[in-house]
Structure 1
Amino acid sequence: MLWGHLSVVRRVVGALALVGVVAGQDLSVPSNWSGSTTSTDSRPVREAFANDAAKALVQNIASTGSLSNTTESQALASMYTVLAQQDLLSANTTWKDTVTANIKTWTGQIDIFGNGTAGSKRTNSNGIQWALAYFYTYKAYGDSSFLTLAKNAFDTTYGSYITPPVAKAKEGGPGRNISFNASGCFDSAAGGIFWLPDVPDNSQIQADTVGPFSVLAGLLYEETKNETYKTLGQQSAQFMGGLLLDEHDVELGVVDVGFCLFNTGRSPGLQGWYVYALSIWANITSDSDLTGKLRTAVSIAAHSTDWTETDGILLDTQTFISDAEFDDKAILVRALSETIRRFPTSGDLVQFIKAFLNVQYNAATNNARSGSSYAQALFGPPPATFSNNGNLVALDVLNAAFDMIPKNASSSSSSGSSPSGTSAPSQTSSTSSSTPVGAIAGGVVGGVAGLAALVGVVFLWRRRNQRQRDNSMREPFDGDKSGNASYEHSPNAPPVVYAVEPFLANSSGNHSFSAPMSSPQFNDSHTTGLSGIQSTSTAPSSNGTQLRAVNDGNQAPAGYSSKLARMNAPPPPLPRGASSPSVTQVSPPASDSAQGADAGSSSAQSQDIPALVGRLVNDLLREHGSVPPQYEER
């Protein structure tokens, strides 16, 4: 039964983390990274590598403003962003003419929400990432016309934004014709943004839309002090840390809030967008809870074996979510670089990130480089011919590498890391108060005690209610938990249908899919990142994807590849009665409790646990002299 209540355990762990936040964070440098976490290269040497890589790349920009071999919107937006950032970080204007002229030329002839080709599908992921490119161009070169373009793209994306009142009402949504009152997800969707602005029956939300939106909101707030940006950006960061975060604190790529389906594929880019947003909002607000989440997200980002080798070198993943998946490594590096700029006095956090970034720098320059050309794979080998993709990835790595060494500083004093397996004394950001060591230790002890008590509570609850349960009832199946594998083969298991991982339905909900294949959302040729769910009893698919049994006859609708559909529609209007976020002030972000009750929770018995555990957690926290945090179901 514990599998069925894992979400409760996870929320309690999150509450205990407010007291002993370091308990779930590992910012020690793994011994497997040793030998690659330092570099004797000075800042000028690193900057020269970065400049040469940029020079080689811009030679392949066509007269149209696109690269010679790609018109992918997200790849091009990333290129102009990283070129502008190189000038911004080095205090130069080397690429000013290249960036400002070519970005105007290219985006002047396309719809930035499309993908750079005639008839391409419009996505908010494309548009908001171009908006970030506009903003960094403005910051690097001071041309206010690019700030206006960034604001306009932000406003257009806001047309698909889910506000707390809309999420609470569970009816319709911005530009949608779907009723969400039967979903266990939509009441937690505040701060989310629909991926497809022009498809009213699509309820898909992607991290590579919400993340850039939250990041840009923070940057625009710092630039304008408009509180609306602060409100929207914080709500989006909360959404990323809520519905899009799995039980291991890893950012998921896609959620369909109409069917409560998740794409459980993982990539450094998805985690990178979450780190990026947290770094900005933790810095702006000086919120200790956000800082704790940032530290955890950074630790997971660098330690995850889903996208790193044992020696720490970043790998490509295949989630088929981003249109420029090869660049996902660069998004994470960019986010980590932003983090150390915003928290320069957080000793252990900075040393950990610098060690990780040095691993990537050493890999790029020693394993993947041939002159000024870089391989897309950081572990090499060097490319036989020039690679636009490789240099795009390398530019973020090289920019981060030179920026983490202060100007006029010796490399030995700034590029090293703490001894392997240890971490430097923890410090907080200059905008946050420090935490006494005794309080941290007490928090960790309290957290352990609380978890032990929690396990006792869960089992006592089970024992009390087991007699009331019908012996024929089966436990909810959680298709993403390996610990449930034995249940698939038990004599009590029902007939199964199969879902191709990494996609699954939210097993905690009681969803009713009436003839899902008849839904126009899944019959047209537009795409979703929720691909591959189908009813079958065959062996694993040809691409090696494993089949996982699902204990529910309500199967997910079949999805589609993320790059095949074509649709050319005019820009969407703002929701009826809504005005531009650039001029409108909205209410502050709702607390987590406003996100609604736990998705799919329908019995009074299962609702006893959060209340019981909530009282337990609050009592434990009071014993440590702390004000108990607000506790509620997700």
Structure 2
Amino acid sequence: MLSCFSRRLGTLRRIVFFSFASSVAAQNLAVPLNWVNTTSNLTRESREGLANGAAATFLSEVNVNAGASAGLPSIRYFTSTYAVLSLQDYYSGNSTWSTTVFNGMQNYYQQYGLYGVPALNNDPVYWGLAFFYAYRTYRQQFFLDLAMMAHNLTYTGAFITSSAAASGTGAGRNVSFSPPSGCTNTTIAGGVFFHQDVLNDTTVNAETITPFMALSAYLFEQTNEQLYSDAAELSLNFVINHLWNGVYVQDSFVVASCQTDNTTMDTFNQAFFVEGLSVWANVTKNSALTTLLESVISNVTTFKTWSLPDGVIDESKTRASNDLDTKGVFVRGLTEARMRNPGTDLAKYIDTYTTVQFNSVINNALATGTNFYAASWSGPAVSSFNAAGSLAAVDVLNAAFSIATPSASSASPEGSGDPSTTSPAPSKSGSSKSSNAGVIAGSVVGGVVAVAAIVGGVLFLRRRRHRRHAHAVEDGTTVDDYAAQIRETDTVTAEPFMLQTPFIQSPTKGQRLNAPQAPSSSSTLPQTATTLESSRASTSAHDPDAMSEPVDNGDLPNLVRRLYSMLHGPQGEPPPQYEN
């Protein structure tokens, strides 16, 4: 734990670090001489065949529509599944997985909602990112509306606004969370509390705030709404001021006690920070943030705790078996950073790093004649299916084909998505075709998608109507450090989901060791309905008219009404608890 003195010293180190960052960025991006297998002769088409085969095999082994019975240990696995499928189509320009993504996500939240048990504030954020990836790929407004609703759940129930930081109250807590005297000379605005249903816990951790920052950046880029800009900038500066130590993103910061966990070190804490920072630097055209991004990537791709001497990521000795999928999310974040900086030294550096991981995965983790991948990228290979290994491998395989140039004589294969017709070995498809985003949007057809589009239109019109009544930002507090000044314009708040029966997920090792004890008084742990009413009341404080016009089912077309009833109607019993 860091003392107040060491925290001030850390702030001073950050000032020095950022002052010199621009002069050493190019030097930092030099590829280490000890990295091996930094090039690959496999074509883009061969790499894409591997990625498609891995995704198809994963779906054949895990029935994601079965919810908890699918054998996946946490919500993160479900959201990552739909994320890698959407991103695979996004990188390839195809719509192979569009039906799987739409039906799968709808079936899941229809049964379980967006929170698991225990309820964590990163649950809806992970879903929000998955919804956004689907929207960006398939261009269905319904997905964007869902992403905004998911963001709103965490924003209204866990996000520390500038006014909440000033008062030390709110943000879903029932205790004061003002830092102790002498703790820090920077604001705590932008923090996102970890636990949704433990209202006296004031822990802000990286696996909650960094994906929230990334989702906020994406949504601002898409909607230009001030609320998302404020959230992205404040969260970014919280990470810089309280979690980033100049080398890596630390795990957590307990606001009320000024304690930082500087012992938990993993790639997952870096993944969404890299992704969100790359998006925000690109959106704001802020050269200081781009320089910071370069320094961050240089550090986190060479950090010895999770890096072997040859450059391959290895967390097999520091992470629980159920958490070995998260290094794939790290590569996913780097891929976004690469796409945001094409043709730069940073892009070339990420290409090399990705290729090192790719070569190790296919040479050491892939079992011969199968699409089974071990969780350890340095091997040995396994002859049976491993969910963590296979899911992480899809992220790496996606990244590997996305950085490769298509051959002149062949476009990327669309793939059937059918494991029975997908070869384990990379191959070119005779019926390959090239698609752009417009073709993808037009190809997502069928009754289910049509209904979703109609509902999305209804929700979008309601959101636009609410926006006209929105009030100005309640305070004019500016953001510290590198972010641009917050503009004072109207805010918009998306209406939250009516939550369904939650998915009961296994706690990670860190959650079991660090989980706070819930208060014994039932008054401090309201039922879901009470929590939602509180969320709506908080929303109404910004926009008193936003919640005054409930949906009238009689005004909706029959198909829309049926889907609306599915989303908001009664659900079955929660799935059983899974043990690690």
Q: Same fold (TM over 0.5)?
A: yes
Aligned-residue offset at 1:345: 2.6
Aligned-residue offset at 1:65: 4.9
- Counterpart CA distance in 1 for 2:292 and 2:77 is 29
Could you tell me which amino acid in structure 2 is paired with residue 163 of structure 1?
Answer: T
1:221-260 mapped onto 2 (5 Å cutoff):
221-246=220-245, 248-260=246-258
Secondary structure of the equivalent of 2:111?
A: coil
**Distance verdict in 2 for CA 1:279–1:316, change over 3 Å:** same
Paired position in structure 1 for 2:203 = 204
Matched, 1:47 2:48: yes
1:61-80 mapped onto 2 (5 Å cutoff):
61-62=62-63, 63-65=65-67, 68-80=70-82
Aligned-residue offset at 1:250: 1.0
TM-score, normalising length from structure 2? 0.68
Q: How many residues align?
A: 432
Partner deviation per Cα, 1:324-372 (whole Å, 9 max, x = no partner): 52122111100110011000032x2112111110000000111100121
Secondary structure of the equivalent of 2:204?
A: strand
The equivalent position to 2:335 in structure 1, one of 325, 334, 337, is 337
Matched, 1:105 2:107: yes
The equivalent position to 2:23 in structure 1, one of 6, 11, 20, is 20
Aligned-residue offset at 1:529: 5.0
Paired position in structure 2 for 1:179 = 176
Paired position in structure 2 for 1:137 = 134
Matched, 1:396 2:398: no
Could you tell me which amino acid in structure 2 is paired with residue 253 of structure 1?
Answer: D
Highest RCO, 1 vs 2 (Cα 8 Å, sep ≥ 6): 2
Aligned-residue offset at 1:561: 8.8
- Counterpart CA distance in 2 for 1:186 and 1:531 is 32
**Distance verdict in 2 for CA 1:15–1:49, change over 3 Å:** closer
Secondary structure of the equivalent of 1:284?
A: helix
Identity of aligned residues (%): 32
Aligned-residue offset at 1:316: 1.8
Aligned-residue offset at 1:32: 1.0
The equivalent position to 2:151 in structure 1, one of 147, 154, 167, is 154
Tell me, yes or no, if the aligned pair for 2:198 and 2:516 is still in contact at 8 Å. no
The equivalent position to 2:260 in structure 1, one of 259, 262, 271, is 262
**Distance verdict in 2 for CA 1:67–1:132, change over 3 Å:** farther
Paired position in structure 2 for 1:168 = 166
Could you tell me which amino acid in structure 2 is paired with residue 310 of structure 1?
Answer: P
**Distance verdict in 2 for CA 1:270–1:369, change over 3 Å:** same
Is there any run of 5+ residues in structure 2 with no aligned partner, and where? Answer: 411-506, 547-580
1:217-616 mapped onto 2 (5 Å cutoff):
217-246=216-245, 248-264=246-262, 265-316=264-315, 325-346=323-344, 348-370=345-367, 371-408=370-407, 529=510, 559-560=514-515, 569-570=527-528, 571-572=531-532, 573-574=534-535, 577-579=538-540
**Distance verdict in 2 for CA 1:111–1:33, change over 3 Å:** same
- Counterpart CA distance in 1 for 2:321 and 2:211 is 14
Is there any run of 5+ residues in structure 1 with no aligned partner, and where? Answer: 115-119, 412-525, 533-558, 586-634
Secondary structure of the equivalent of 1:255?
A: strand
Q: Which has the larger radius of gyration?
A: 1
Paired position in structure 2 for 1:30 = 32
Aligned-residue offset at 1:313: 0.5
Secondary structure of the equivalent of 1:266?
A: coil
Aligned-residue offset at 1:177: 2.1
Tell me, yes or no, if the aligned pair for 1:531 and 1:561 is still in contact at 8 Å. no
**Distance verdict in 2 for CA 1:103–1:71, change over 3 Å:** farther
Tell me, yes or no, if the aligned pair for 1:37 and 1:355 is still in contact at 8 Å. yes
Paired position in structure 2 for 1:87 = 89
Tell me, yes or no, if the aligned pair for 1:151 and 1:582 is still in contact at 8 Å. no
Tell me, yes or no, if the aligned pair for 1:263 and 1:529 is still in contact at 8 Å. no
Paired position in structure 2 for 1:601 = none
Paired position in structure 1 for 2:193 = 194
Could you tell me which amino acid in structure 1 is paired with residue 364 of structure 2?
Answer: N
TM-score, normalising length from structure 1? 0.63
Matched, 1:128 2:125: yes
Secondary structure of the equivalent of 1:367?
A: helix
Tell me, yes or no, if the aligned pair for 1:316 and 1:325 is still in contact at 8 Å. no
Tell me, yes or no, if the aligned pair for 1:313 and 1:379 is still in contact at 8 Å. yes
